[in-house]
Chain A
Amino acid sequence: MIFKIIFISIFFVTFIYGVIRPFSSIIAKVFIMVGSLLGILSLIGEKYAQMIAVSMGIGRGADLYLYLSLVTIFLFISFTVNRLDSVNKKISKLTKDIALHNANQEKTKK
């Protein structure tokens, strides 16, 4: 029972975080809110999760969560890789610009 309360609390906090944090992407906001609601649902109403799974053509509620987890992980990896690429490009541009700026200053001094 104690673990159930802990997990419900975690999902609840995540849901509140999704509601109040100003996300740049609305998809990320909805994703966190829906994900945490489904998490709470899986803990307090297993039969509802089962019903949703059946209505979506998935046999069991547990499978629904497994698929959702996999999608979440892949999306997270994909977003992270894109973000890293973007940061790398910025760092690269900055490094090259600093190098050129310093070289041009040296050239002017000579």
Chain B
Amino acid sequence: MINNVYILIPLYNEESKISEVVKGLKKYFSNIVIVNDGSTDSSIDVIKDLDVIAINHLLNLGQGAAISTGINFIKTLNNADAVITFDADGQHSIEDAIAFADEIIKCEENIIFGSRFLNHRMNIPPMKRFVLSFITFVTNKIMKMSLTDTHNGLKAYKKNILKYIKIEIDGFAFESEIIKIVSKNKISYKELPTNTIYTEYSKNKGQKLRNGLIVLEDIYKSINLR
């Protein structure tokens, strides 16, 4: 059982999936923090019955805000050595989370980025693959990074670098802001492959392709933030 690595799950309207996701993770991780981001379904009631630390946003702000709140909470915990962000919709595999937990404790790098493009490129739907590649290309150019997947929710952070992670973008494009923070502060990083599970449910729930444009807009905003 992993005690010193916290799992952080941003949650918005996932009443049908969250229980299954948490039960799967609970077999390996003792500490799970869920930030309910103003869900309008019964997600909040579902997580009350689970053995997790629940934090509740009264309003829906966005994934970036939920991650920000979760990170600010975990920063204050004494028994946390690292944190892994994990999606609530069941897209991420628990085996990947275990690999990330193992690696973030052992490795010298301070952040591990998940990448769908390292081993499981062909699992990504073609159009999504194209948009993600384009966004990754733009982000890498602007932020002077060399990532293969800039918008993957599965990441691991060592606790000592959480003080740098101050997220101001509330939406899902906060990922670009994190990359900017990593680039600006020269935080060491590496990538690990992730096997994202694209079910019909997750495809319907997931980011729409038009959101790619919003991501580009938010990359522009994140450049101007600091």
Binding site for B on A (CB under 8 A): 88-89, 91-92, 95-96, 98-100, 102-104, 106-107
Known: A96-B61, A100-B72. 6 other contacts (CB 8 A): A88-B170, A89-B168, A91-B59, A91-B61, A95-B61, A96-B69
Number of residue pairs A-B, CB distance < 8 angstroms:
40
Chain B: number of interface residues, binned into ranges: 10 to 19
* Interface check B55, CB cutoff 8 A: yes
Contact B72 A92 (CB under 8 A): no
Contact B58 A98 (CB under 8 A): yes
Known: A102-B55, A103-B53, A103-B55. A95 touches B73 (CB 8 A): no
Cα-based distance from A106 to B77 in the complex (angstroms):
13
Q: Which residues of the partner chain A approach B168 to less than 8 Å between Cβ atoms? A: 89
Contact B61 A92 (CB under 8 A): yes
Contact A95 B59 (CB under 8 A): yes
Q: Which residues of the partner chain B approach A103 to less than 8 Å between Cβ atoms? A: 53-55, 73
* Interface check B35, CB cutoff 8 A: yes
Binding site for A on B (CB under 8 A): 35, 38, 53-59, 61, 65, 68-69, 72-73, 76, 168, 170
- B68's partner among A96, A98, A107 (CB-CB below 8 A) is A96
Known: A92-B61, A92-B170, A104-B76. A99 touches B56 (CB 8 A): yes
In this complex, what residue of B is CB-closest to A98?
B58
Contact B58 A96 (CB under 8 A): no
- A96's partner among B54, B72, B76 (CB-CB below 8 A) is B72
Contact A95 B55 (CB under 8 A): no
Contact B53 A96 (CB under 8 A): no
Cα-based distance from A54 to B68 in the complex (angstroms):
57
